Structure 1
Amino acid sequence: MKIIKYVFITLVMLLLVSSAFLFFYTRHLTPKYSGEADLPGLTQTAEVLFDSYGTPHIFAESDEDAFRALGYVHAQDRLWQMELMRRIAPGRLSELFGSDLVETDVFFRTLGIHEYSKSSVEALKKRGGKMLVLAEAYLQGVNQFQKDGPTPIECTMLGVEDEPFTLEDIYNITGYMSFSFANAFKTEPAVSAFAAMGYDYLKVFDLDTTRSERIKSYTTDSNHVAIANQVNEVFNKLPLAPFIGSNSWVIAPQKSSTGRVILCNDPHIGYSQPAVWYEAHLSSPGLNYVGYHVAGVPFAFLVHSEYVANGLTMFENDDVDFYREQVNEQNPDQYWAVDHWEAFDKRREVIKVKDSADVEIEVRLTRHGPVINEAIKGLAETEAPISVWWVYFKFPNYILDAAHEMAVAKNMEDMRKAAEKIHAPGLNLMYGDNDGNVAWWAVGKLVKRPSHVNSKLILDGASGADDPQGYYEFNENPQAVNPPWGYVYSANNQPVMNIEDSTVLYPGYYLPGNRAERIVKVLEAQEKFSKDDLKNLFLDSKSISAIEMQKSLMSLVEINALNEGERTALEQFNSWDGMHEEDTYGAAIYYTWVYFIYEIAMIDDLKERFGEKGSDIFKAFMSAHLMKRSIPTFISAADSPWWDDVATETTEGRPEMVTAAFKETVRYLSDRFGEDQENWKWTNVHTLEHPHPLGAVDMLKPLFNVGPFAITGSDMVVNNQGFPFSKDKLFNVSFGPSTRRIIDFSDINNSESILPTGQSGVPFSDHYDDQSEMYIKGGWRPVYLSRTKIEENATLLTLKPTN
């Protein structure tokens, strides 16, 4: 009996000790939102007021001290995210995650963003200036917290050793951002595969194919299959989600109920935990603005002050080309460069792999850019080299200068001059100010290509005939300044510009015009808009294009071929009003039907031409913007060769394929959600979970992931809650608004914002997920510039200089 008692007491003591350890350990990891902390390097004491959602409002006596403090508080909330972000572009993920990420690292090492970052840092140090001083101050704050603060639990679990953050890391992070904006990496290889099948297979997609019958596709089957598959895998394996799209609209005084400008913006980015943006307010003699920061980058890309506000969306221009190079048969170290043989430049890369041997690669470079053959699994080295030409590498990098200058801009001309400094990625810069101006500029160096070139195909690299011919001047980019209709907007739609009485369409990978059409329709529907009206527009879930497709699909389906359950489902679909709200029925049927129309129509043809690798091309295409843009043209093409099933001796047409796809739709939804069609209600099927990289481990998911939540909105509506068009992930929301912002110049302290989860990336912080429920419900929280307003409900952390 005494032994049992002893064992029991021992177990209780162990439990108490373990509980105490966990309590104090988690408290140790939690960010410090009050009290005092030492920050060497400060010239004077800085005060950080944290509001009720953990947003830091930094008050400092110098700009440099404000950025030191920013680096410190940014790191205490997001150090793990910073660590992850800085490793993507230089190909250092394998050091954390092992051999599964080697192919991703090889791809990025080959691409060479890290080499470009090195040269950008050298150039920055040579020119010096205020931006360099502020960037280094920020890094001092980050590195001081890394030295003195607790190690993030993720770094402890993965065995990450401390390594000071550098200017090169900052440029690598912005380089990864630019890469994730470049949709050509995902789309052009798949388009080239369709072109290789013949013009009739290509013309059904919504792209410029007017010259496709004349231009040759300079690829072999293995080229486009391997590239399409590998690039798709790179995106799928990244532990942080890429940038996707965005909405923004800015209302001029004549359309505003207050008579002042109102700016709205919600950049669409893949969901992740921690959330993408870190919100911070900086106040010092030369600064007073609220900015939204990417982990590890000192300068905000989204900002507002008492004078100006900006918003960003992806421009979706095509700033990447693939070239097939010609190798000298007598000397494989040379390639043909227009009129002579030229030696490949070469560099060696060593990739360190956790719990495995290092991986060494040799990267070849041409006049166009890096050769990607060695980075593409399944693309034999004996194939003709495929090189990548990217605008990002062709100009000095001033994106950090531009971001800083936007933050301190006092008027429209300041903002415009800052925008001119960005050469890549392509962005739509939305603008409003306290003087009543509204503007939109397409930002980035837009390429001039020869008239015969279809930039969506893999091009001839040897002759020089397909090379870019130059760039448009900034004033030739699409833009609108104070238009008479009283607003500017962007939803990643196709822009048009008139230059010297001719209409210019810029090649790109623009999203369908659905969201843009809906935004314009709403903004044109009434004379004046209040802030509440515009909040409602953020959550608008009406799909105009889906209703148009509804009519087309209903005219094609062979009703007599359907059983009773399928007819009931068809009636449900036919009564759908195009909304995507909680009690919506029919939407689940629409997206599933569209998916199976593509699968049934395309898979057999792709496999006939490319074997089992045809499935890889299909997956890559279904993940690209082009797929969504092509829905109406693909389904409306009555004579398309895609409609014939190559496995049968008969010739099928659209009605047979559309009907077969509908039957497969009902089977899929019944298997996944149950045969009771009441279970197909939109918020039963459409769900969001914010994934943390370590949440992929089932045991760790409850600690790190946030959600799941039932959510309204959908793909291709203004409330853009998108999901992959794939059988295993259909309706699992993977991207959407990374923040919603509404900046009201009738009272700048009347501005509001929301993040998808919370400010902090520390799982034990109260601010890890405290905005998630509000976000799902379309809620908002105030964003103040006034210290008086901030102090009403804030805690104070005092950062003190040390000798």
Structure 2
Amino acid sequence: MALIFRWLVRLAALLIFLTVLGVGMAYWLASRSLPDYDDEVTVRGLTAPVEIVRDNANVPHIFGKTDADVFHALGFAHAQDRMWQMILLRRTAQGRLSEVFGTATLNIDKLLRRFDIYTLSVRSVEALDAETRAALEAYSAGVNARLDQINSEALGRGAPEMWLFNAPMAPWSPADSLAIVKLMGLQLSGHLEAEVIRARTSLALADPDRLKDILPDVPGAGIAALPEYAALVPDAPKFAKNIPLDPHPLSPFKHLAFAGASNAWAADPSRSASGGTLLANDPHLGFSAPAIWYLARLELQSGGVIGGTIPGIPVVLTGRSADLGWGLTSAYVDDQDVYIEALNPDNSNEYRTPDGFRKFRTRSSIINVKDADPVTVTLRWTENGPVMPGNHYNLASITPSGHVASVNWTVLSDRDTSIQAAMALMHAKTVEEGIAATESYIAPAQNLTLSDHKNIAMKTIGALPRRDANHQSKGRMPTRGWEKANRWDGMMPYTANPEFIAPSGGILGNTNNKTVDRPFPNHVSYLWGDTQRIQRWQRLMQNRQVHTRDSFIEAQLDTISFTARSLLPLMGAELWFTGEAAPDKTPERQRQRALTLLAGWSGEMNEHMPEPLIYAAWLRALQARMIQDDLGPLADEFSHVEPLFIERAFRNIDGAAAWCDVLQSAPIETCPDMARLALDDALLWINETWGTQLESLRWGDAHQATHDHQVLGEVPVLRYFVNIRQSTSGGDNTLMRGRTKGTEPNPFYNVHGAGYRGVYDFADPDSSVFVTSTGQSGHFLSRHYDDMAQLWRRGEYIPMSLDQELARAAAVGVTTLRPAQ
């Protein structure tokens, strides 16, 4: 027995030793790719030495003799910190994820190949001016210099993920950067899905007048009546199976609720306590670890610029120079149209046009798949655009037999000069120069907010399609592709894009709200991203005669929900403090406790409070009850509450209270009935998920920000090292926006919000501040992987200074790139 015990002890010791050895080896291999920021590297393509000074937040400050040298060093810095992220973005744009991840990403690749954005990017390089091409080539050379260093010095393949998902890395090229710009456009546009949902809802509703309730127009004049989809496209399927989007975390195809959002506002000297202009910007994108944003300072020949870049794109997209600040918000321009194309009954290789049948433009594309046979996809294009598969946003559900769907979209330009405009913006000194610089910008459409030392402005940049006044759906629903009136007639002139310069009130801003009210076809859009945050923003801006950097920060971090303050009185109008006393531990008593908490609540979506969770669960349950019997399976597409819909129903605007009646039941339910039932539903869900002690609930437990690693985020054990989860305040409709997931499980997870925040004060530019939601490094063993995460969560910032000495004073390292002899 003693002998057996000794051998068991030896075996256990051996297993422990091997485990420790294995972990040690894994750590050593992974840590090999941690960049050395105190380094000298000899590289090809430089005219003179370049310094990359990394301040104490690991923000690179790049100093070089020429602009080309600076962009070269930015490429090197991006590749040092975010190599894996850049490779993923490039593979996604190319439709080549399956070479690494196998069949799990095959559907993503098929869709990206059909859009063909990488081919369009290659062609667009030739449309750029010489200065922009030179910058892109220099940037590519910098990325490739880091690749050469990784290979020559055996630096762990550049990133820990490369050990797990090893695949050849092609050199970086200018087209790769353009493709990532187009990929961002894909993530920021939701008009395709909006058209399909409007068409499907039109087909599903028994009463066509109810369409304006569930898909309401933003209040304001100028919205024309539209025909129903059945009249536009006869024989469209009345009922069809709902095909959910691919949930893979690498998929760039997101639901309309996550199609892009942002905040930006500015004040001129008359409304600024400091006497200089103020600008705040926080773009909203899906959360990930690392964040999509990377902070950088570039010392160009025209002066220094500092702010947020996206790895792979050599441009400060939001930030400031010494003279000009700029911020971006999604403009929601209607830059996509879906067309139903009629096939030739005698030849399925042809489709109908205004001039008769014409052959599809076709090309075969081979997708290599890891551990599986290659897949060949036949790409088809019409005069309107690429043909889409029926499972993309459920296009099959609105496409009649003998037809296919195509999409026209400004991103699908092969003469795309958007990056050229962004480059020119970094050199602009005034608001007027900034507006002029962005005339060549194509897509994705953005609202550009500008401030120089004296003036402020906002300009919608991006191509606006020119539509015929007789367009059958005004771009709101899919239409017949062979009707000439439905087709685009080029683009509107840049002067037609909305602009607001030197407003008389001294303040302007955008929260993705409706900015102009112009009749079709000069309307810009019928779909806007916000009707709620703008109400709170107006209140905060008007409450002060003058503003400061700190008051702009307060607005960015504001968590008061205008939506809660406006809807709760309607929802609880016949429930507050009514009814007899109920015994403890009964549903009636729980309902009374919930109503008592909500009656004294200010609408603040604070992470430490129980009321936001009760309110959010009630509102979600209410919309679900109101639409399920009318829409059936289509109700699943409405995963987020539409506040205007709830308000229309409870105020019975144009008979909208009909939504509160359950069609299949004999009694006629009222909206107060539905509110009471929904509150019981919400409390039952809370009891089962979070417990029965309502006063002990925390909104932040349900509203966790999910900065998850896109590839390793679901790997057991490893996910605890690579994912960043945080309790957060805010919600769907607060200025500090934390867009909720909307689907089970964990419907209130915070998955989409401000990955970058910046506030710039031009009375004292070096007092400007910014922050990102994770950290600069994409390497999970680096201390800079998540060192900004807690700052971001607490609403804190780091300095945004162009002072070279301040950057050097507490630098974590200086990398010197020297030209090869």
Q: Same fold (TM over 0.5)?
A: yes
What pairs with 1:385-784 in structure 2 (closer than 5 Å)? Answer: 385-394=404-413, 396-434=415-453, 436-449=454-467, 450-451=469-470, 452-469=472-489, 471-496=491-516, 505-555=523-573, 563-607=588-632, 614=633, 617-622=634-639, 627=642, 630-637=645-652, 638-693=655-710, 694-706=712-724, 708-784=725-801
What pairs with 1:184-203 in structure 2 (closer than 5 Å)? Answer: 184-196=191-203, 197=205, 198-203=207-212
Structure 2 CA distance for partners of 1:641 and 1:8, relative to 1, 3 Å: closer
**Paired residues of 2:385 and 2:406 also in contact (CA < 8 A):** yes
Amino acid at match of 1:735: H
Structure 2 CA distance for partners of 1:619 and 1:285, relative to 1, 3 Å: same
**Paired residues of 2:555 and 2:735 also in contact (CA < 8 A):** yes
Shift of 1:285: 3.3
Amino acid at match of 1:720: R
Helix, strand or coil: the match of 2:369? Answer: coil
CA distance in 1, matches of 2:388, 2:11: 64
Residue-pair matches, total: 784
**Paired residues of 1:595 and 1:726 also in contact (CA < 8 A):** no
Amino acid at match of 1:784: S
Helix, strand or coil: the match of 1:203? Answer: helix
Give the alignment partner of residue 100 of structure 2, picking from 96, 114, 129.
96
Shift of 1:647: 3.5
**Paired residues of 2:466 and 2:521 also in contact (CA < 8 A):** no
Shift of 1:505: 4.0
**Paired residues of 2:474 and 2:521 also in contact (CA < 8 A):** no
What pairs with 1:207-286 in structure 2 (closer than 5 Å)? Answer: 207=217, 210-213=224-227, 216-218=231-233, 222=237, 229=243, 232-233=245-246, 238=251, 244-286=260-302
Shift of 1:752: 0.8
CA distance in 1, matches of 2:494, 2:237: 39
Corresponding position of 1:44: 48
Helix, strand or coil: the match of 2:403? Answer: coil
**Paired residues of 1:582 and 1:712 also in contact (CA < 8 A):** yes
Q: Deviations over 1:515-554 (max 9, x none)?
A: 1121121111111112122211111111222211011101
Pair 1:797 & 2:815 matched: yes
Structure 2 CA distance for partners of 1:83 and 1:649, relative to 1, 3 Å: same
CA distance in 2, matches of 1:548, 1:315: 26
CA distance in 2, matches of 1:534, 1:174: 29
CA distance in 2, matches of 1:701, 1:713: 25
Structure 2 CA distance for partners of 1:310 and 1:3, relative to 1, 3 Å: same
Helix, strand or coil: the match of 1:456? Answer: coil
**Paired residues of 1:303 and 1:407 also in contact (CA < 8 A):** no
Shift of 1:237: 5.6
CA distance in 2, matches of 1:3, 1:667: 56
CA distance in 2, matches of 1:353, 1:546: 49
CA distance in 1, matches of 2:757, 2:410: 30
Which sits farther off after the overlay, 5-14 or 72-81?
A: 5-14
Corresponding position of 1:611: none
Corresponding position of 2:583: none
Corresponding position of 1:143: 144
Shift of 1:214: 6.4
CA distance in 2, matches of 1:5, 1:194: 68
CA distance in 1, matches of 2:20, 2:618: 56
Amino acid at match of 2:320: H
CA distance in 2, matches of 1:557, 1:105: 52
Helix, strand or coil: the match of 2:40? Answer: strand
Shift of 1:631: 4.0
CA distance in 1, matches of 2:523, 2:355: 32
**Paired residues of 1:496 and 1:504 also in contact (CA < 8 A):** no
**Paired residues of 1:39 and 1:800 also in contact (CA < 8 A):** yes
Q: Deviations over 1:408-438 (max 9, x none)?
A: 112223211122111221100000113x111
Structure 2 CA distance for partners of 1:50 and 1:457, relative to 1, 3 Å: same
Which sits farther off after the overlay, 445-454 or 531-540?
A: 445-454
Shift of 1:792: 1.4
Structure 2 CA distance for partners of 1:560 and 1:504, relative to 1, 3 Å: farther
Shift of 1:801: 1.9
Give the alignment partner of residue 80 of structure 1, picking from 54, 66, 84.
84
Amino acid at match of 2:316: A
Pair 1:173 & 2:180 matched: yes
Amino acid at match of 2:588: N
Pair 1:157 & 2:161 matched: no
CA distance in 2, matches of 1:168, 1:284: 23
Helix, strand or coil: the match of 1:346? Answer: strand
Q: Deviations over 1:191-212 (max 9, x none)?
A: 1111113512312131277423
Amino acid at match of 1:393: L
Amino acid at match of 2:283: P
Q: Deviations over 1:752-798 (max 9, x none)?
A: 11110101101111110001111111011112211122121112222
**Paired residues of 1:756 and 1:771 also in contact (CA < 8 A):** yes
CA distance in 2, matches of 1:236, 1:605: 32
Amino acid at match of 1:141: G
Structure 2 gaps of 5+ residues are 581-586
Q: Deviations over 1:225-249 (max 9, x none)?
A: 56x745x437866279866200011
Shift of 1:630: 3.8
Q: Normalising to structure 1: TM-score of the pair?
A: 0.92
CA distance in 1, matches of 2:292, 2:644: 26
CA distance in 2, matches of 1:274, 1:458: 37
Structure 2 CA distance for partners of 1:136 and 1:630, relative to 1, 3 Å: farther
Shift of 1:444: 1.6
Shift of 1:652: 3.4
CA distance in 1, matches of 2:253, 2:477: 28
Shift of 1:35: 2.8
Amino acid at match of 1:305: S
Amino acid at match of 1:317: V
**Paired residues of 1:537 and 1:718 also in contact (CA < 8 A):** yes
Structure 2 CA distance for partners of 1:250 and 1:654, relative to 1, 3 Å: same
CA distance in 2, matches of 1:787, 1:264: 23
CA distance in 1, matches of 2:239, 2:499: 35
Shift of 1:311: 0.3
Q: Deviations over 1:299-326 (max 9, x none)?
A: 2211311111100000012211111112
Shift of 1:5: 9.2
**Paired residues of 1:37 and 1:799 also in contact (CA < 8 A):** yes
Which sits farther off after the overlay, 412-421 or 482-491?
A: 412-421
Shift of 1:725: 2.3
CA distance in 2, matches of 1:754, 1:29: 25
Shift of 1:13: 6.4
Corresponding position of 1:610: none
Shift of 1:583: 3.8
CA distance in 2, matches of 1:173, 1:224: 37
Structure 1 gaps of 5+ residues are 608-613
**Paired residues of 2:75 and 2:142 also in contact (CA < 8 A):** yes
Helix, strand or coil: the match of 1:465? Answer: helix
Amino acid at match of 2:603: G
